[in-house]
Structure 1
C-alpha cells in the first residue's frame, strides 16, 4: 500500500470514529463501522453494524472522506 492510500485510509478511519461518536450521542442505532479494503488496500466499502437490525454495507470506493460520510449517512439512513 502506498503512502497516499495509507494517508487517505487514516483520514477515513478518523472520520468513521467521529461519526460513530456522533451517532452514539444522538441515539442512532449503530454499534460500529467496519471498513472493507480492496485489493490495493484502499477502503472500498463500510459495513454498518447495528444493535436492533442487520448489517448494511455501503460502497464508498473512490470517495473523499467527507463524501464517504455523506454516503453513509444518506444510504444508511442515519440522519
Structure 2
C-alpha cells in the first residue's frame, strides 16, 4: 500500500497528480495511476494492491497495480510532469 498525506492547510485537487512505477530499474513507467478526488487538510489517500488482504483493501481509497513494487523498483509522485517525490 501507499499512503499520501496532506500536511497543508488547504484541500488538494488530486486530479493534477499521478503515481508512476518504474520497474526493475527501468527508465520509463510501466504503470501509471492518475489520481482523482480531493485530499482534505490532514487527510490521507491510500492506494492498495488489488491482491492485498480484504482488511487492507477496506482501508483504501483505490486499488492499483502501481503498488506492485519490490526492492529494485521506483515509485514517483508527480504533479503534471514535475517530480515531487
TM exceeds 0.5? no
Q: What TM-score do you get using the length of structure 2 for normalisation?
A: 0.28
Larger Rg: 2
More helix by share: 1
RCO greater where, 1 or 2, for CA within 8 Å and sep 6 or more? 2
More strand by share: 2
Q: What TM-score do you get using the length of structure 1 for normalisation?
A: 0.29
